[in-house]
């Protein structure tokens, strides 16, 4: 039986219309029409949330899947220092999926959207032959020329991370071990809060020379900054803001989906220890050359390979 | 074995960089940064292309899948009268997919992109557990207030269609019947050309009161216009620009994916019979009330139900 596409669109439209303003023209035309403030550039990011790759139905409640789906896009907007404005959702669902699952998914997504005054303005729906497939598109804006890129880091800049690192994958390891968890007791994994306010502060105060979000894990995301900026880095292992779990250092170095911000600042900039209620920790420095090294507490330097976070693979 | 994500991104980046200009900042940051002309609004559309739903690997060569993937989005921009500017591609591929398939897919997509000076500015990649999954996002712009909506049709307006209707699904019926076809001999199905130039003409000359593209089939797409405009319509069966196939009328009424334009014009506007080398045919008129009727050659009126095109379902 084909999915009742029109009904799903109607449900999303009704859900999206409750509680916040729509853009100029919303769901129901061939395109959404957005008015971007004069003097702003448009930021756009797209992120898949695929069953079996980014989430599992038996581990993640549907409102968490919806929350995480949008959080991925919002975190990309934060990584540029931008203001998120509008989201689009392409959603393909198996024909036998209970309607309740879809409703809870949308509820989780819209609850996070409302927190940041983001509208859901359109998307696509389809029936999926295999598993739940979502693709979130988030559109933001930023005053012209103010986007914080990955390519702006210079030797001597200091490297900072927000919050804690490794918390999301620590939860994932518990899930893998078969533990039953209460999602709201492990919110950094199930309901990560993208660092929008922190990023806006960094942008408005011109504090960050380069920035990325830690969606792929510190070792990989720092490599992205270093490659785009053509620099190297030293990470101080003892300084990392890690969780209290057993192999916390490895999780912090290579675990993904923390959606914290990793950024560099010129050495003459003074940073508070907390911005927008999020702790900020200095974890290293940018160097000339191309190598990324980890400094142990005893002072020894070893190469820090980018492990490349593979989600549930 | 995990998909070499970074390599795929590199390949797309290299392919996208050849032959046309990138936006302000391209693939390689957390977001793409777009500069939209002053006085323009932003148009955004997203469309899935899912294996088994929108295409079949045994029927559609990979460059056709790439072409059709982008054409869906471009056609939505055309349906608003807009100028397409930038595309984003979220692409999930099975681990065992030959690299050649992905290369040909990207080649087909980029060939169409170049035709309309559209840049590929970013997206997401993932490994798919089941089948090829693509989601295309196309961003366009239009002078403020000039978007042609579905909601602008008035009783007395005339209804026009571009090109021919039913050609794409006629090809699909041949594929279903097991016929071997040369894709370039059936280009309206395999390589549809979105009606960008025609749409720009209608927008610039203020000829269309409402518009939609015929992605879901005439009976469904006309219903979308009527519902959003709160009007009815009479379609003249004898006037339809149909293909020469056996059940051509049914294919023209209910077959999808023609990516022609269906639009209404006030009765005092004079339309040429061809715009931007595309034939334009008057196929009916907007009425008050809410019913959509089909007028037979003998003058009899019968209700025209919206069949709701289901792609390959």
How confident is the model over A140-150, as pLDDT tens digits?
999 999 999 99
Where are the domain boundaries for CATH 3.90.650.10 in chain B? 150-303
This prediction has a pTM of 0.90
Tell me: the pLDDT tens digits for A72-117?
A: 999 999 999 999 999 999 999 999 999 999 999 999 999 999 999 9
Look at residue B239 in the predicted model and tell me its pLDDT: 96
Q: What is the CATH number of domain A5-143?
A: 3.30.1330.10
Measured between beta carbons, which residues in chain A are less than 8 angstroms from residue B33? 41-43, 80, 142, 147
Q: Assign B58 a pLDDT band (cuts: 50, 70, 90).
A: very high
- What mean pLDDT comes out for the span A221-225? 96
Q: Assign A30 a pLDDT band (cuts: 50, 70, 90).
A: confident
Which of A169, A171, A165 lies closest to A185, judged by CA?
A171
Measured N-to-C along each axis, helices B196-204 and B62-79 cross at an angle, to the nearest 10 degrees, of: 10
State the pairing for strand pair B158-162/B210-213. unpaired
Tell me: the pLDDT tens digits for B122-151?
A: 888 888 988 999 999 999 999 999 999 999
Look at residue A11 in the predicted model and tell me its pLDDT: 65
- What mean pLDDT comes out for the span B59-77? 98
Whether the CB-CB separation of A243 and A178 falls below 8 Å is answered with no
Of A38, A42, A52, the CB nearest to B129: A52
SS3 B139: strand
- Alpha carbon of B277: minimum distance to chain A alpha carbons (Å): 23
- Alpha carbon of B70: minimum distance to chain A alpha carbons (Å): 14
- Alpha carbon of A90: minimum distance to chain B alpha carbons (Å): 7
| CATH classification for the domain delimited by A150-303, as one of 3.30.200.20, 3.40.50.720, 3.90.650.10, 3.40.50.620 | 3.90.650.10
Structure tokens at A117: 């005054």
What was the ipTM of the complex prediction? 0.87
Look at residue B8 in the predicted model and tell me its pLDDT: 62
Tell me: the pLDDT tens digits for A108-166?
A: 999 999 999 999 998 888 889 889 999 999 999 999 999 999 999 999 999 999 999 99
User: Is the predicted pLDDT of residue A24 greater than 90, yes or no?
Assistant: no
DSSP string, B155-169: TT-EEEEES-BSHHH
User: Is the predicted pLDDT of residue B7 greater than 90, yes or no?
Assistant: no
More confident site: A205 or B29: A205
Where are the domain boundaries for CATH 3.30.1330.10 in chain B? 5-143
Residue labelled with tokens 């990138």: B22
Look at residue B106 in the predicted model and tell me its pLDDT: 96
| Number of cross-chain residue pairs from A and B with Cβ atoms under 8 Å apart | 206
């Amino acid at each position: 039986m084909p999915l009742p596409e029109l009904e799903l669109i109607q449900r999303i439209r009704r859900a999206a219309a409750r509680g916040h303003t729509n853009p100029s023209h919303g769901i129901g035309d061939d395109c959404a029409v957005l008015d971007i403030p004069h003097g702003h550039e448009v930021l756009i990011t797209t992120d898949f949330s695929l069953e079996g790759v980014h989430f599992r139905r038996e581990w993640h409640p549907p409102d968490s899947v919806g929350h995480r789906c949008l959080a991925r896009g919002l975190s990309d907007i934060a990584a540029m220092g931008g203001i998120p404005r509008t989201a689009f959702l392409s959603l393909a669902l198996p024909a036998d999926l209970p309607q309740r699952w879809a409703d809870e998914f949308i509820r989780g997504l819209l609850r996070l959207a409302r927190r940041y005054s983001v509208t859901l303005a359109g998307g696509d729906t389809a029936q999926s032959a295999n598993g739940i497939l979502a693709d979130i598109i988030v559109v933001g804006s930023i005053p012209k020329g103010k986007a914080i890129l990955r390519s702006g880091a210079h030797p001597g800049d200091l490297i900072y991370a927000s919050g804690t690192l490794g918390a999301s994958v620590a939860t994932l390891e518990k899930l893998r071990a078969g533990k039953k968890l209460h999602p709201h007791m492990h919110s950094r994994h199930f309901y990560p809060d993208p660092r929008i306010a922190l990023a806006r502060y960094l942008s408005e105060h011109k504090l960050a020379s380069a920035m990325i979000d830690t969606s792929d894990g510190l070792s990989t995301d720092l490599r992205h900054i270093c490659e785009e900026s053509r620099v190297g880095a030293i990470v101080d292992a003892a300084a990392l803001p890690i969780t209290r779990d057993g192999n916390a250092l490895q999780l912090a170095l290579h675990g993904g989906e923390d959606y914290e911000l990793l950024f560099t600042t010129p050495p003459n900039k003074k940073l508070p220890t907390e911005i927008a209620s999020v702790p900020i920790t200095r974890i290293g420095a940018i160097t000339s050359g191309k190598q990324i090294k980890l400094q142990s507490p005893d002072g020894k330097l070893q190469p820090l390979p980018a492990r490349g976070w593979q989600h549930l693979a």
